[in-house]
Amino acid sequence: MGSSHDRTLLILHPYAKSLAAILSQQLHGLRILAAERIEDALPMIGEGAVEVLISPTRLVTDELLGRAVNLRWVASTSAGNDRLAKNPRLSESILLTKGTSHGTTMAEYVLAYMLYFSRQIENNLVKQREKIWNRSLPEVRPLSLQGKTLGVLGLGSTGRTVAKYGKALGMTVLGLKRTPEPVDSVDRIFSPDMLEQMIPIVDTLVVVLPLTQETFHFLGEKELHLMKDGALLINIGRGKEIDEEGLIRVLKTKKIHAVLDVCETEPLPKESELWAMKNVIITPHVSGIVTPEELCAEFVANYQRWITGKPLEGVVDRQKGY
Ligand SMILES: NC(=O)c1ccc[n+]([C@@H]2O[C@H](COP(=O)([O-])OP(=O)(O)OC[C@H]3O[C@@H](n4cnc5c(N)ncnc54)[C@H](OP(=O)(O)O)[C@@H]3O)[C@@H](O)[C@H]2O)c1
């Protein structure tokens, strides 16, 4: 790509050096600065030349924004940009785009844990360690996911991939989102006010919503109580979308399981009861993994659109917050 634009790009990212190495091969004529830490990025952005910033949303601090006088585009590598979208320091005139490459690994995470429970993987491991050969059938959840019902809360780039993978396993897929248009692989679309109708009919409920005012505590104790016995809850969205105290009470009284990649407070405090609950699996916000190559491919495609005046992928609607 040989477009010679006198623009400065700052990459502020734990993998900044790898990203810079890949992008400098592909985007000639662009001055690329790379910083792994905010302290290193501040003097670079303070020079005033930076027009484009690549960074995960958590590193885009007020101080950084305050110094970025010529910033025109923040290409966030995060899919969720709740705080940044509403930050008054980020002027409305600055373009904000979100990461759109997390879908595949997050959908694989959902598949992994649905199969973990349906195939009773933990039970088999326990029996193996005790040298027990026991072919009796599992009691709680059926062995196959085929014909079971998957509910997906949020049908963005990730929720759609979750739906596609669920459909490929022969599941009935229900989806919930704000707008009513049909979505591939989703058998039935529910609106947010139909949440209570959707929950009792699903075997696995996946939360993959952006965090906004409307989705804070989207699932409270009342809604969680509607889950059927043996159902599985998987949260790969944001921890604050579930009332965690309410969830703990429901997990103590109902025969459901929860897989939580995100928690209300991260890291999950050591004193949280969730750590030790037998029907809970905790992972440390790792369901969405994107390689430096994928991040770069996403950015290069959008950069080409940007310099040729075409609409960009993944533009965050600042009013909606996602
Ligand atoms: N755990 C991790 O590692 C990880 C990694 C990446 C992302 N995430 C989280 O996952 C979230 C979703 O990612 P994404 O890329 O799929 O999001 P996205 O493309 O922005 O899509 C968001 C979806 O949520 C729906 N939605 C928004 N507000 C809603 C509401 N009040 N009620 C019902 N539906 C609502 C939207 O509905 P419409 O289609 O009708 O607008 C849309 O379908 C991110 O925002 C982030 O918080 C977590």
- What's the 3-state SS for 108-166? HHHHHHHHHHHCCHHHHHHHHHCCCCCCCCCCCCCCCCCCCEEEEECCCHHHHHHHHHH
Taking a C-beta distance cutoff of 8 angstroms, is the pair 155, 186 a contact?
A: yes
Distance CA 248, CA 65 (A): 39
Taking a C-beta distance cutoff of 8 angstroms, is the pair 224, 213 a contact?
A: no
Copy the structure tokens of residue 17. Answer: 């050096």
Q: What is the pTM of this model?
A: 0.95
Cβ of 268 below 6 Å from ligand 1: no
Cβ of 211 below 6 Å from ligand 1: yes
Instruction: Choose, from 13, 67, 102, 238, the residue flagged as catalytic.
Output: 238
- Residues 276-301 pLDDT 10s: 999 999 999 999 999 999 999 999 99
Cα atoms in the Cβ-side hemisphere of radius 13 Å centred on 204: 31
What is the average pLDDT score of the chain?
A: 95
Which string of DSSP letters, residue by residue, matches 243-309?
A: -HHHHHHHHHHSS-EEEES--SSSSPPTT-GGGG-TTEEE--S-S----HHHHHHHHHHHHHHHHTT
Cα atoms in the Cβ-side hemisphere of radius 13 Å centred on 45: 29
Burial of residue 79 (CB within 10 Å: 0-12, 13-18, 19+) is buried
Instruction: Determine the distance separating the centroid of ligand 1 and the alpha carbon of 211, expressed in angstroms.
Output: 8
Taking a C-beta distance cutoff of 8 angstroms, is the pair 9, 34 a contact?
A: no
Instruction: Determine the distance separating the centroid of ligand 1 and the alpha carbon of 81, expressed in angstroms.
Output: 10
Catalytic site residue 266?
yes
In this prediction, residue 4 carries a pLDDT of 45
Query: What's the pLDDT band for 3 if we cut at 50, 70, 90?
Result: very low
> Does the pLDDT of residue 260 top 60, yes or no?
yes
In this prediction, residue 231 carries a pLDDT of 97
> Does the pLDDT of residue 2 top 50, yes or no?
no
> Does the pLDDT of residue 138 top 70, yes or no?
no
Taking a C-beta distance cutoff of 8 angstroms, is the pair 187, 173 a contact?
A: yes
Cβ of 178 below 6 Å from ligand 1: yes
> Does the pLDDT of residue 146 top 60, yes or no?
yes
Cβ of 285 below 6 Å from ligand 1: yes
Q: Which atom of ligand 1 is nearest to the CA of 262?
A: 1
- Residues 198-208 pLDDT 10s: 999 999 999 99
Instruction: Determine the distance separating the centroid of ligand 1 and the alpha carbon of 141, expressed in angstroms.
Output: 28
> Does the pLDDT of residue 137 top 50, yes or no?
yes
Instruction: Determine the distance separating the centroid of ligand 1 and the alpha carbon of 49, expressed in angstroms.
Output: 33
Instruction: Choose, from 266, 273, 293, 313, the residue flagged as catalytic.
Output: 266
Cβ of 210 below 6 Å from ligand 1: yes
In this prediction, residue 136 carries a pLDDT of 80
More confident residue, 260 or 120: 260
> Does the pLDDT of residue 50 top 70, yes or no?
yes
Distance CA 59, CA 61 (A): 6
Cβ of 235 below 6 Å from ligand 1: no
